[in-house]
A and B are shown apart, each in its own frame.
Chain A
Amino acid sequence: MSIAMVSARAVARRYRLRRAMVELASALLAIVLLIWSLLPVYNMLLIALDPEEGEIEFDGNIWTPEPSLASFRAVVTQEARYLEDFWRQFGNSLEIGLATMALTVLIGSLASFAVSRMRLGKGSLLTNAALLTYAIPGSFLIVPYYRIMHALGLSDTLSAVILAQVALATPFAVLILQLYGSLIPLELDDAARIDGASPAQLYLRIYLPLMTPALAVVALYALLLAWNDYLYQAVLLAVRNMTVSVLQGQIFLDADAPWNAMMAAAIIYVLPPVALAVALRRYVVASLARDGGEA
């Protein structure tokens, strides 16, 4: 009996040891993931906080000896070289991003509503059209896009970029909305119809409120698509309508550019999507936790 107790204690100890090892490994993995994720962001900060200007500021330092916010001030007051028009460029980026977001949510949700809730045609037709959009990647079509925009009289307009971005974002929106919408019973709509609701009321009062989590995901996705874009903004817009994304990319081979100010500008540019993600976090988490999946 005492042998059994001793071995039970040994098993318990081995179990505790194993648990401790797993905890240690988890913590280590978490640290590695954080370093991996934050290192390039840290690099931006490192360069932005460097007080020197006009040359390549970084010389193998892993920390800036005299951190300074001067470069941020220079960006905000538009005194840094290449950044004289920063706020106008930021405004252009914002206009493209917000318009892409709004139009993607609107067009995607209307189409998804008509097909899945009003039973217009087959759902597979819509999702197939959506998937077909990605058959030839957007970047492969930049020359045709350039010429089509010219033919439509949209050369060098923000609308051209917005339309291209909406065309690329809406298919993914439709896929997400169709998937999420399939979890909402159709009987809801039928009951409201019998109570005399019009299709527009159905869309506004039932569909949109119930789809909020998926719409939040779609909005964030569309804003990020526009925010990530470099190629369309670089090709379809002239200098007058330049965006922050293009500015970041176009002079990156110029080692004489004030890179501390450029990286300060980059950090300012990163903020809007982060703010939106924080604002929408509640809805996204809600969409995941719906199934009680606190697993």
Chain B
Amino acid sequence: LGRNGAQEALAGGALVTPTGSGRPLGRRHLHRSDRKWALAFVLPYAALFLVFVLYPFGYALWMGGDPALYAQLIADPLYLRTVVNTLVFVGLGVNVTMFIALLLSGFFLRPRRWMKLVLAGFVLPWLVAAAPACVSFHWMLIDQRGLVDGLLSALFGIDGPLWLNDRWLALGSNVIAYIWKWLPFWTLIFIAGRMMIARDIYDAAAVDGATGARRFVHITLPLLGNLYLICTLLSTLWTLGDFTTVYLVSGGAPALSSEVLATLGFHYAFDTARPALGVAAAISALPVLVPVTIALMRKFHTSGLQP
């Protein structure tokens, strides 16, 4: 019925629009009764935004408002190490994911009979819930008894390292688990983006002899560039906030040396009962969060992605 309604409207539109009063309908103001409807429609989201976004923001800023907290953070070697870890985790987690996703999105659009099957297997990590997936990574990497070292010894006869016993290996394991989990999501986004590029652009380029790498550099990149940037910025915010991967893959091991800001805030707040310090650790990321958010808003509105 709904689809019929839309089709009728479409048919009606062809008849009615030319006979309008001369003023385009798109510019007309809302009727007063319509305005009430529209306000009622947007009210649930506005309430949600006020109570569960702005209020927690204000609450966090108020809790982390004491400058002494930041002096305490700077004095804590654990905090400084965590900042370095966070930069590595986010820097690698975001950029490696995005770059590989961009390349793979092209690969998955190659017409092959088996491609759908490969794509189905490839998107599975996105559908596997984070907690069990990270626990599985943890057991895979636990030590010589894990699957990874088991494979290394069965295939190559080498004793694998104790992955979660070294700060950098543990950090690397977290990054790998994070990429594993989120690569399919961004690949799908880029596949959608590439499909939006009209095919005739590629056809015209092919006539002009642009194929392969040149096609990628001169057509795909400029047209997907904005999408790539927006996704990178959004992913930066999401990766900074990722708690589950680090908490469940390395668990901060060894000895809290592979923590990131999200898990350190939790550690301060719940393990050492210093909630204000935990909030301050999170707030200390604002100098990164605010510019990224502003850039994201600007990019979103100037890129033609916005209606």
**Interface of A with B (CB < 8 Å)?**
26, 29-30, 33-34, 36-44, 46-47, 56, 58-62, 106-108, 110-111, 113-116, 118-120, 123-124, 126-129, 131-145, 147-148, 163-164, 166-167, 170, 174-175, 178-179, 181-182, 186-192, 194-195, 197-201, 203-206, 208-210, 224, 227-231, 235, 245-246, 248-249, 252-253, 259, 262-263, 266-267, 269-270, 273-274, 277, 287-289, 291-295
Instruction: With CB as the reference atom, state the residue of chain B lying closest to A194.
Output: B16
With A33-B118, A188-B9, A228-B130 known to touch, is A61 a contact of B307 (CB < 8 Å)?
Answer: no
Contact A133–B136 (Cβ < 8 Å): no
Please name all residues of chain A whose beta carbon is closer than 8 Å to the beta carbon of B37 when the two chains form the complex. Answer: 114, 118, 198-200
Decide yes or no whether B192 CB sits under 8 A from chain A.
Answer: yes
Instruction: With CB as the reference atom, state the residue of chain B lying closest to A255.
Output: B142
Closest-CB distance, A61 to chain B (whole angstroms): 6
8 closest cross-chain pairs (CB), A and B: A137-B241, A182-B307, A293-B195, A140-B282, A191-B13, A266-B132, A209-B2, A167-B52
> Complex Cα distance A230/B135, Å?
12
With A30-B114, A58-B145, A195-B9 known to touch, is A134 a contact of B234 (CB < 8 Å)?
Answer: yes
Instruction: Kindly name the residue among A39, A140, A231, A294 whose own CB sees the greatest number of chain B CB atoms within 10 A.
Output: A140
The 8 Å CB contact of A206, one of B9, B51, B248, B251, is B9
Contact A259–B139 (Cβ < 8 Å): yes
Decide yes or no whether B72 CB sits under 8 A from chain A.
Answer: no
Within 8 A of A (CB), among B7-34: 8-10, 12-13, 16-17, 25-26, 30, 34
Contact A136–B57 (Cβ < 8 Å): yes
Contact A141–B56 (Cβ < 8 Å): yes
Please name all residues of chain A whose beta carbon is closer than 8 Å to the beta carbon of B244 when the two chains form the complex. Answer: 228-231, 249
Please name all residues of chain A whose beta carbon is closer than 8 Å to the beta carbon of B53 when the two chains form the complex. Answer: 129, 132-133, 167
Instruction: With CB as the reference atom, state the residue of chain A lying closest to B130.
Output: A228
Within 8 A of A (CB), among B166-198: 177, 180, 184, 191-192, 194-198
The 8 Å CB contact of A148, one of B55, B140, B251, B305, is B55
Instruction: With CB as the reference atom, state the residue of chain B lying closest to A268.
Output: B132
The 8 Å CB contact of B118, one of A30, A133, A141, A210, is A30
Contact A206–B2 (Cβ < 8 Å): yes
Contact A191–B16 (Cβ < 8 Å): yes
The 8 Å CB contact of B56, one of A148, A191, A270, is A148
With A111-B41, A291-B196, A291-B198 known to touch, is A44 a contact of B243 (CB < 8 Å)?
Answer: no
Closest-CB distance, A13 to chain B (whole angstroms): 20
Query: Would you list 15 pairs from A and B whose C-beta atoms are within 8 A, ordered by A residue?
Result: A41-B128, A60-B153, A111-B41, A111-B46, A133-B53, A136-B60, A137-B289, A138-B241, A144-B59, A189-B9, A191-B13, A191-B16, A192-B5, A227-B129, A269-B129
With A190-B25, A252-B135 known to touch, is A59 a contact of B145 (CB < 8 Å)?
Answer: yes
